[in-house]
């Protein structure tokens, strides 16, 4: 029998913080003291918690929810970041002396995720430099990156998506704690917005109900390119990505449109909240210059 969401949330806090009082668990989970007291009593009875700490049995209970791998989609050209990307793939561009992708990889390793794949296409040999710092990385090739959208990169990894993070490889991460060792269900990172002209989603009761360009209201979230896919959803994606890719116009799709638009009825993808300070998207050379003044010459 699997864990309930509330049981999972309690056990995850023990993993992150070690020994915890019930009052501290209330602060971390947002649940009432009565609810936390009941959950801790349940978990103690199951042998998952003892004396304010998680047990080895508790860690075993979390194992089905452990993230197994991280997949980086890094094949594109990133024309809007020219002239920097004429000679360097965007994930390898340095911001304040550090490659953009390094922060994401470091966050994965810090969370205990060391099975790491990078799908490359544009200037692929340049990614080899990562092996000096990260010898565990495995590269996968996307020869079609220049004639399709990122769904062609998803095609390369479509059998590997279960219990996996999928990253756009050009996100500048400031808060590595948003990359967690355990995830309960499929989700995409997002920032709540009153109004946006970017790609966004509508959300109801925590579940993404619609993807669109631009929106406003209480239920609008701007998506970030960090998602997690559970074991069953990963298996569904392997078939759905192929079906959408092979349909007329399929090569022009973005991969996340598969679960959020074209095959939405197959999934219940949650939004996972973060803030503007946690992750930054650098889309243009102007934005890069604003963040790192060494480019402003």
Each domain of the chain, given as residue ranges in start order, spans 5-64, 66-295
Going by CATH, does the domain composed of 66-295 fall within 3.30.930.10?
Answer: no
Query: Which residue(s) pair with 227 in the sheet?
Result: 166, 188
Query: Shortest CA distance to 176 belongs to which of 102, 282, 98?
Result: 102
Q: Is the pTM of this model over 0.85?
A: yes
Inter-residue contact 22 to 54 (CB < 8 Å):
no
Q: What pLDDT was estimated at residue 289?
A: 86
Write the CB contacts of 3 (distance below 8 Å, at least 6 apart in sequence): 11, 61, 62, 65, 184
Q: What is the distance of C-alpha 262 from the center of its chain?
A: 20
123 torsion bin: left (phi>0), alpha (psi -120 to 50), beta (else): left
Query: Shortest CA distance to 279 belongs to which of 183, 168, 185, 182?
Result: 168
Write the CB contacts of 63 (distance below 8 Å, at least 6 apart in sequence): none
pLDDT (tens digit, 0 to 9) for every residue of the chain, 297 residues total? Answer: 589 999 999 999 989 888 888 888 888 888 888 998 999 899 999 999 998 889 999 999 999 999 999 999 999 887 777 787 788 899 999 999 999 999 999 999 999 999 999 999 999 999 999 999 999 999 999 999 888 889 999 999 999 999 999 999 889 999 999 999 999 999 999 999 888 888 889 999 999 999 888 888 888 999 889 999 999 999 999 999 999 999 999 999 999 999 999 999 999 999 999 988 999 888 888 888 888 888 876
| Burial state string for 24-50 with b = 16 or more CB within 10 A and e = fewer than 16 | ebbebbebeeeebeebbeebeeeebbe
Inter-residue contact 114 to 108 (CB < 8 Å):
yes
Going by CATH, does the domain composed of 5-64 fall within 1.10.10?
Answer: yes
3-state secondary structure of 67: coil
């Amino acid at each position: 029998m699997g864990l309930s969401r509330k049981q999972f949330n309690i056990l995850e806090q023990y993993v992150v913080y070690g020994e915890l009082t019930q009052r501290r668990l209330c602060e971390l989970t947002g649940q009432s003291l009565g609810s936390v007291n009941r959950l801790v009593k349940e978990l103690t009875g199951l042998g998952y918690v003892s004396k304010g700490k998680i047990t080895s049995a508790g860690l075993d209970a979390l194992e089905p929810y452990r993230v197994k791998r991280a997949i980086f989609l890094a094949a594109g050209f990133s024309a809007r970041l020219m002239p920097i990307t004429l000679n360097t793939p965007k994930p390898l561009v340095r911001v304040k002396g550090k490659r953009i992708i390094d922060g994401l990889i470091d966050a994965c390793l810090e969370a205990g995720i060391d099975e790491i794949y990078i799908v490359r296409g544009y200037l692929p040999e340049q990614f080899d430099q990562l092996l000096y710092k990260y010898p565990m990385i495995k590269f996968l090739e996307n020869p079609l990156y220049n004639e399709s959208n990122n769904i062609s990169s998803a095609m390369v990894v479509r059998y590997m998506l279960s219990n996996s993070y999928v990253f756009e490889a050009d996100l500048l991460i400031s808060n590595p704690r948003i990359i967690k060792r355990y995830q309960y269900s499929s989700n995409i990172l997002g920032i709540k917005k009153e109004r946006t002209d970017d790609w966004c989603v509508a959300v109801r009761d925590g579940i993404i109900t619609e993807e669109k360009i631009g929106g406003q209201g209480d239920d609008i979230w701007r998506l970030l390119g960090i998602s997690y896919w559970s074991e069953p959803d990963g298996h569904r994606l392997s078939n759905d990505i192929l079906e959408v890719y092979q349909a007329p116009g399929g090569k022009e799709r973005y991969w996340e449109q598969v679960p959020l638009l074209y095959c939405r009825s197959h999934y219940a993808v949650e939004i996972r909240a973060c803030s503007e300070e946690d992750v930054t998207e650098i889309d243009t050379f102007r934005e890069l210059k604003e963040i790192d003044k060494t480019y402003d010459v």
